[in-house]
Structure 1
Amino acid sequence: MRIKILFVFLVISSVCKAQYSFSGYTNPEEGNRAVYLSIVEDYRKMTGVYSEQIIAKTSADATGYFEFKGNMLDTENRIYRIHIDSCSDIQQDVNHFNGYCADSEALLFIAKNTDTLKLPFSFGNQVFCRVESNNPKANAFVKIDSLKNDMRFAYGEFRSEANRKLNNKKWFKTLQYFGEALDEPLAELYIYTYLSDRSSDLHSYYVEDLKKNDYYNNLKTRLEGSYPNAPYTKQYANELNADRYMLAASNGETASNWNILLYSILGFSVLLNLVFLYQFWMRNTSKIEDLKAKLSKQEQVVLEHLLEDKTNKDIAEALFLSVSTVKSHTNNIYKKLNVQSRDDAKSLFIK
């Protein structure tokens, strides 16, 4: 009995340990606002609010406290978002259509099903500025956002084209190195999304960097090693292939590659036709030899003259035979070849 009780206790303990708990505070002065938990499976939708990503909803109490808990999350790290939204349900359909909501505060973080995450108030009752978690990767996005704020300050110091270009070059590499140093591929994806955004000034640096930097292949390898089954890994691989294809097309390499492919197909087709012709010739030659083997030596000689359209008299004179002997050989040839005339015989030996 004691063993059974101990077993049940261990099972319950293991189940309890498999639960997540994400809690924090909203600003109570702004009223009880709805709080949402979302899972981000498309890293191009990490910023913004998308209703299809929402997996749970709760409300903050009078003190602003809220909590999400359960055991339904993935056992591996994934990207999640908690956001506070004061839009009404009717307004959400309009405001969130393109992932935009002016009256929303959000936090991205990395977590799994066994994690505890706390979002306490920071200075001045600011929300979502500090992350406390048993998962050391949880606050990677907060660190990146902090660095991006430093970047914005550097850009704003001198609003000139020269300053912007210098900062573009500097911060592109700074962000890339920072992401790699975090030792978390999901955090690197957050930076990659920002650097490769087509609407960003940094996109041109990304295009040039893609031509010569092995970083992107290495990131793909890190994602495949850490998250082989996550949707982010396949999405990244597809995007990387698409960007490289467009890059090759812009350099004229695609047309050249297509020409090589077409010439290769043409050459293969010619070679294949030659093989077919050779095989046909071999089969036909074998067939002719088989037919001639049915005839005697004298009949084979007569056949050669028949195929040259010589008359019986011409054949008799050429072979020093009588015309009746030639006719006799001819009739034997027809019987052995199963034909009725010279034309039928000639049709068997056309190559």
Structure 2
Amino acid sequence: MRFLHVTIFFFCIATCSFAQHNFNGYVDTERWKSDVYLSIIEDYRTLENIDNEQIISKVSTDADGYFQFLGNQLDDEQRIYKLHVDNCESFNQDSNHFDGHCTDSKDILFIAKSTDTISFPLSFDAEMFCDIDATNPKTAAFIKIDSLKEEMKFAYSEFRSKANRDLNNKKWFKTLQDFGINLNEPLAELYIYAFLSERGSPFHNYYLEDLKANTYYDNLLERLKTTYPNTSYTKQYEAEIASDKFIATPPNKETSGFNWIYVLVPLLVLSLILNFWFISKYKINKKKKQNSIKEQLTKQEQNVLDLILKEHTNKEIADALFVSVSTVKTHVNNIYKKLNTNSRDEIKSLFNN
């Protein structure tokens, strides 16, 4: 009996020490392959992509299409995850086979942490990844936001006029932002922000205008710093906001209190003067160095050196100085030794500017 108590005690310690996640559900195996992939999304701009660098686990379904991810490798804090299936071909079935794009795939995004239990049941007509049953109330935040986005798309499609777009922009930006705040989950707000601020979207110009006056974006940054300090999400968002603010409100040259031309022109002139001075100084030092090198040589060796620098051959040097070719060779070898060189090219590099 005592042994049983000890065993139960250690089992409880082991169970409590390793927080486990349990993600399970069903896949329509008549439509999709049996492999299911679990990814962590660290860059919220890649929510729609399939990236093999983000995949952390893969399982295969059983004959009924049931799958389960069970383990303790997830982060203790909330993170953005994705489940997906696809019908893309692979040359190596033992490895992740994605190149960042797959035209025939289906996925679901959700928020989770290491202790969550989440089910992804098949809904009506064997539709998968449309519903979530989770112990974590924030897991299904993205599905709620997607529902709101569908309402938004319908409102925009009702009248395709500029006046309708302007009114809808103002309404739906506020609606989505307020909805995100009420969810009390900054990661869900990032999902909304990524949608509204996408540079290729029709909302981007309005987003830049909204960024100028709306304190929502700075407040979101503070919420991220409080809840998720030092994460890639917070750092990425902070960098993007700073960049977009610069785009939205560039420095105004006309209203600037100081005319920088009065500083830049003198600096340019000073730079040119210094460059000329440095070049002149360099040439003088180069000349002094060359003269110092030449002083090591005899008068006749200097004559030979001058002709070498003029690309003369030994025969041409001999004719010019009225000496034999063998004498010229002796002078050349002496020059090599005194100047610590091994060839005419090395000699030329000492004297050519």
Bin the TM-score by the shorter chain: 0.5 to 0.7
Shift of 1:48: 2.1
1:211 equivalent in alignment to 2:212: yes
Aligned to 1:334: none
Query: Which aligned pairs between 1:239-250 and structure 2 lie closer than 5 A?
Result: 239-249=240-250
- Contact 1:79 1:111 survives alignment (8 Å): yes
Give 1:5's aligned residue: 7
**Which of the numbers 9, 14, 17 marks the counterpart of 2:16?**
14
Counterparts of 2:131 and 2:101 in 1: how far apart (Å)?
A: 23
**Which residue identity does 2:83 align to in structure 1?**
I
Cα 1:137–1:259, aligned 2, differ >3 Å: closer, same or farther? farther
1:145–1:258: structure 2 CA closer, same or farther, 3 Å change rule?
farther
Question: Unaligned stretches of 5+ in structure 1?
Answer: 267-351
CA deviation after TM superposition for structure 1 residue 73, in Å: 0.6
Q: Residue by residue, what CA displacement relative to the aligned partner does 1:218-246 show, whole Å, maximum 9, x if unpaired? A: 10110011111321011111111111222
Match of 2:222 in 1: 221
Question: Distance between the aligned counterparts of 2:98 and 2:176, measured in 1?
Answer: 29
Please give the root-mean-square deviation of Cα atoms over the aligned residues, in Å. 3.0
Using the alignment, how far apart are the partners of 1:10 and 1:174 within structure 2? 46
- Residues of 1 paired with 2:262 and 2:185: CA distance? 43
Using the alignment, how far apart are the partners of 1:54 and 1:207 within structure 2? Answer: 33
Q: What is aligned with 1:307?
A: none
Calculate the TM-score normalised by the size of structure 2. 0.67
Residue 252 (str. 1) matches residue 261 (str. 2): no
Name the SS of the counterpart of 2:74 in structure 1: coil
C-alpha separation between the residues in 2 aligned to 1:144 and 1:43? 15
CA gap of 1:30–1:253, structure 2 versus 1, over 3 A, is same
1:257 Cα deviation from its structure 2 partner: 8.3
Does the C-alpha gap of structure 1 residues 200 and 96 become closer, same or farther in structure 2, counting only changes over 3 Å?
farther
Long gaps (5+) in structure 2: 267-353
- 1:262 is displaced (CA, Å) by 9.0
Aligned 8 A contact 2:32 2:85 in 1: no
CA drift of 1:31 comes to 4.8
Q: CA deviation at 1:261?
A: 12
Shift in CA distance, 53/231, structure 1 to aligned 2, threshold 3 Å: same
Does 1:46 pair with 2:53? no
The answer on whether the counterparts of 1:35 and 1:57 sit within 8 Å (CA) in structure 2 is yes
CA distance in 2, matches of 1:20, 1:50: 22
Q: TM-score, normalised by structure 1?
A: 0.68
* Partner deviation per Cα, 1:172-200 (whole Å, 9 max, x = no partner): 22111111111100000000011111111
Bigger fraction of residues in helix: 1
Is this contact kept in 1: 2:32–2:86, CA < 8 A?
no
Q: Corresponding residue for 1:146?
A: 147
- Give the aligned partner of residue 89 of structure 1: 90
d(CA) in 2 for partners of 1:45, 1:135: 24
Residues 324-339 of structure 1: matches in 2 within 5 Å?
A: none
Deviations 1:280-312, CA, capped at 9 Å, x for gaps: xxxxxxxxxxxxxxxxxxxxxxxxxxxxxxxxx
Q: C-alpha separation between the residues in 2 aligned to 1:118 and 1:216?
A: 33
Q: Distance in 1 between matches of 2:140 and 2:260?
A: 50
Query: Contact 1:172–1:205 at 8 Å: present in 2 too?
Result: no
8 Å Cα contact 2:209/2:248 also seen in 1: no
Task: Determine if contact 1:32/1:61 at 8 Å carries over to the other structure.
Answer: no
Q: Percent identity?
A: 51
SS in 2 for 1:219: helix
Name the amino acid aligned to 2:252: G
Inter-partner Cα distance in structure 2 for 1:194 and 1:108:
14
The runs of 4+ residues in structure 1 deviating greater than 6 Å are 260-263
Q: Which amino acid aligns with 1:77?
A: Q
- SS of the residue aligned with 2:76? coil
Q: CA deviation at 1:169?
A: 2.7
CA distance 1:162–1:147, change in 2 (3 Å): same
In 2: Cα distance, 1:44 partner to 1:91 partner: 28
Amino acid at match of 2:10: V
